[in-house]
Structure 1
């Protein structure tokens, strides 16, 4: 137990007394980076390796997000017939070329596309026509259909 306390606190006390000027001068410039961090050389190397791996993961995720955004922009450029952008194409290629949009974005684009297709159809344009009352048109269609049914019932051939 005393050994644990001495190893944990002892190094910090030596650093404190060394900075006050009292005591022996061991030459702090001779310390390696691992000793300065309070780790053994193996622990320090493992720590550095983890830092590099985490940085690579962050960079890969960042590249993926940039490629997804570029894919979205290129989709809208195709949709609205705008000129292509070379930086977007290079970002997509950097991510591997096969980039899919996140589900949320793909769902939003799909909904927008459905709305635009609906508005582009003839039935989608009917409500926007001036002087057209859909209620009266519906009533006329129902009365006409009812009249056709009655005349079909009166017909002796059918």
Structure 2
């Protein structure tokens, strides 16, 4: 019962009597040196350390995010999927500090080399599934037919 009364009326009574919030959070909801049980210098150092840790975490998060975006860009290149402007922007913001998995880089490079080979004339010749013996036989039979037709016409004249 006392807890309930203190909870309901406690803050109002403190404000009326001029009670302070020492040892608790500031009126703005911010922590104070006294609330943490530290001296002012220790508290400032603590705050600086928190800010530095937050900056480090944010930097690592941005790097990981850019690496994932770079991975998506590489996969889109490999499988010829339309690019995403958001991924491109993320990769550009990160710069050249990104790590691409070695296996993926090798796969993309091999695919590019294979495409270059297939696009060349020799590559097209190698990929053709043509039986040159059958083509040669067909050409010879056509030539003999043409010769026969020419001889037949010449004899009749």
Larger CA Rg, structure 1 vs 2:
2
Output the TM-score relative to the length of structure 1: 0.49
Output the TM-score relative to the length of structure 2: 0.49
